[in-house]
Amino acid sequence: MKRYAILLLPLLLTAGTGSLLAQSTVSPDARAVEDVLGRYKSAVERLDATGTETLFAPDSQIFESGSAEGSYANYLQHHLGPELAEFRAFRFSDYKLSVRFEGPVAIATETYRFTITPKQGEPIERQGVATSVLGKRDGRWQILSMHNSSRRPKPA
């Protein structure tokens, strides 16, 4: 029995430190990209997009469920802003984010579920996915392009 414990100890020590190493090797750029997307997600959940313009490049492009929405400024004025005004609540769940870098560009994929509670009517539940392309401009990461879509969740 002692022999097995001695053989397993290095494996257990390696397994235990592997997750610590993985956590500590997240680059500052990856953290900054996660922060940009997290701030946007939080604003949507607060139903207050104030200040989110700084998260997007002025020449950004937004695509949502088969529609080209134009720049974020246009999307905010004509789509997102008016929608948020009609909601009592917007909540994300089962949120997962992955970020990878291709040269100076970050590509982020988010998967999630969300529930919208309108001011009038019943809550709406959806399963969603978003892909965002971010670039570093003037030392900070901004969203250059965002494409998101959603559908009704499959019955359990």
126 - beta bridge partners? 114
Cite the DSSP H helix spans in 25-102: 28-46, 72-75, 81-85
| Torsion sign (Cα): 147, 46, 111, 105 | positive
Cα–Cα distance measured from residue 87 to residue 48, given in angstroms and rounded to the nearest whole number: 11
Cα–Cα distance measured from residue 65 to residue 85, given in angstroms and rounded to the nearest whole number: 20
One-letter amino acid of 60:
S
pLDDT at 22: 44
pTM of the model: 0.83
pLDDT at 14: 37
Could you count the other beta carbons within 10 Å of the beta carbon of residue 136? Answer: 14
- Between CA 145 and CA 152, with CA 149 as vertex, the angle to 5 degrees is 165
pLDDT at 26: 84
Residues in the chain: 156
Could you count the other beta carbons within 10 Å of the beta carbon of residue 72? Answer: 26
Structure tokens at 19: 């997750």
Mean pLDDT by 10 residues, the chain (156 residues): 39 39 73 98 98 98 96 97 97 98 97 98 97 96 98 88
Cα–Cα distance measured from residue 32 to residue 118, given in angstroms and rounded to the nearest whole number: 32
Domains and CATH numbers, the chain: 27-151 (3.10.450.50)
pLDDT at 155: 82
